[in-house]
Copies of this chain bind each other. A is one copy, B any other.
């Protein structure tokens, strides 16, 4: 069965900025979805900020195996209720890929529990990504490094938690470095952050970048059933204890009662 990917696009600069419109005549999310679609058993669709519920209804998330997120100008317009819904889907097992300026997207910050800040410069400078974990599935089919001739610079320190794995590190012509590919797990969900993708450059048309995103979709996909209530904290009463124990001492709760939240 194919992996169902939803590409979430902020969909703002494509319509307000001539350069972006020219570079991405099919929109950014449309370009990314097209690059994924039909390859390697992936079926990709798109939703946008402007859709009802930002396109991320409970039904849509239920049929999304991996969610790809690009946002920049309108992070603040994303409703907190939808952010919680997305995080719950991740905790239940949905994979998620955050691209570039999504380092400041609400769901990324929520899942990291950290500032997620960095330094930046918009000068169309050269970026070179180095693979730091040889033969990692997200680096499959890539050379040990590849270049993007024009990119925005992101520099360290990058305010994220220590990742499970560092897959890419970027070199920038202006003198900075950046951890460009990082893996995390939150609940049952696999998360990948991938740095490149400033909207005024043709980054998502690049074959290596498309390859990374495709690989990451496969890596992030958790084929096991989605956990329905990923926040449940069930009580195990004494009578159901796996080893015979006798209740002792005072209690605050009664059997079957829900805990405090």
Using a CB–CB cutoff of 8 Å, the interface residues on chain A facing chain B are: 13, 17, 19, 72-76, 87, 91, 93, 101, 104, 110-115, 117-125, 128, 130-137, 140, 144-145, 147, 150, 153, 155-159, 161-162, 164-166, 169-177, 179, 184-188, 198-201, 222-225, 227, 230-238, 241-243, 245-253, 259-261
Contacts and interface: CB of A to CB of B under 8 A. Distances in A.
Closest 8 A-B residue pairs measured CB to CB?
Answer: A124-B249, A175-B242, A124-B248, A135-B188, A174-B241, A113-B113, A175-B243, A19-B250
Contact of A200 (B136, B233, B252): B252
A119 B120 CA distance: 28
B132 A249 contact: no
Nearest to A72: B260
A187 B161 CA distance: 7
A230 to B, nearest CB: 5
Nearest to A161: B186
B122 A199 contact: no
- The CB with the most chain B CB atoms within 10 A, among A87, A174, A250, is that of A250
Contacts of A179: 132, 166, 169
Q: Which of A137, A144, A225, A241 has the most CB of B within 10 A?
A: A241
A85 to B, nearest CB: 14
Nearest to A201: B249
A261 B184 CA distance: 22
